[in-house]
Structure 1
Amino acid sequence: MAAMSGAESVRLDRWLWAARFFKTRRLAVDAIKGGKVDVDGVRAKPARAVRIGQRLVIHKGPQTFEVHVDGLSEQRGPAAQAQMLYTETPDSVRAREQQRESLRAASAAQPRPDHRPDRRDRQRLADFKRGGRH
C-alpha cells in the first residue's frame, strides 16, 4: 500500500496517534518513554522515524499488539483509514483473543448480587467504609 502522506517516514508518536493506538499524542509519547513501544525489537524514542515495512510491538495496558507498518500518516483520520496503516500479525491476534477469553472466564466466576443496592444499602455501605456503625 502506498503511503498516506508524501513523506518517507513519520515520527513514531504521530504514527501511533494517527493509527489510533492512543487517543492523544501525549499518551503516545508517555507510552514510548515508558518503554511500551519497540521498533524492530529496539526500544524507541518519540521522535524515532517510522518507515513502511517496520515491525512495532505496542504494549497497551494488558494487551500487546505486534504490527507491521503498511502506510504512513501524520494526521488522524477515520478508524477505517487508520486500520489501513498497519497489519497485525496472526500470533498477536490469537494471543489477544486468548487473553480476552481468559478475562471473560474470570469475570464469569465472580459472584453477582441478587439485586442492585437501594438507598438504605448504599447508606449502610458508606457507613461501613467510613468505619462507622454497621
Structure 2
Amino acid sequence: MNDTQRLDKWLFFSRFVKSRGLAAAWCDRGLVTLNGRPGAKVSQAVRVGDVLIFPKGRDIQAVRVLALGERRGPASEARRMYDKLEGES
C-alpha cells in the first residue's frame, strides 16, 4: 500500500462521505482544510498524521489520520482510520 491516498478516497473509505463525488463537492466549495490550509483539493495526498477539518452535519469535525484505507469497509474498520481531535465538535 502507498504512503499517501487521494483526499476524496480517504474521506469515502473512512465513511465521512457517502460518495467520492460528495467529497469532491466539499473540496470544490472550500469546505475541507488539510493541515491548517483551507481549500484542500480533491486530489491532494493525505498521509498518516495529517489533520483534516470538514463539516459534519451542523458541526465541524477535526480528525487526525491514523491509517489509509484499502476499501470502504464497515464502520468499525473505518473508525480505526482516524482519531477525533478535542476542541472541535
**Which amino acid is 1:60 matched to?**
K
Which residue does the alignment assign to 1:51?
A: 47
Counterpart position of 2:11 = 16
5+ residue gaps, structure 1: 1-5, 97-134
One-letter amino acid matched to 2:85: T
Aligned residue pairs, count: 88
Q: C-alpha displacement at 1:51, in angstroms?
A: 0.1
Output the amino acid matched with 2:28: K
Name the % identity: 38
Select the structure that is richer in helix.
1
Alpha-carbon deviation of 1:74?
4.0
Which one has more relative contact order, counting CA pairs under 8 Å at least 6 apart? 2
- The TM-score, its normalising length taken from structure 1, stands at 0.63
Match of 1:64 among 60, 75, 79: 60
Q: Which has the higher strand share?
A: 2
Q: Distance in 2 between matches of 1:34 and 1:60?
A: 15
Deviations 1:14-64 (A, max 9, x none): 000000100111111101111110100112100000000011001234111
Structure having the higher Rg? 1
1:31 to 26, 33, 46: 26
Please report the RMSD computed on the Cα atoms of aligned residues, expressed in angstroms.
Answer: 1.0
User: Is the Cα–Cα contact under 8 Å of residues 36 and 60 in structure 1 kept in the other structure?
Assistant: no
What TM-score results when the alignment is normalised by the length of structure 2? 0.93
- Runs (4+) of structure 1 exceeding 2 A deviation are none
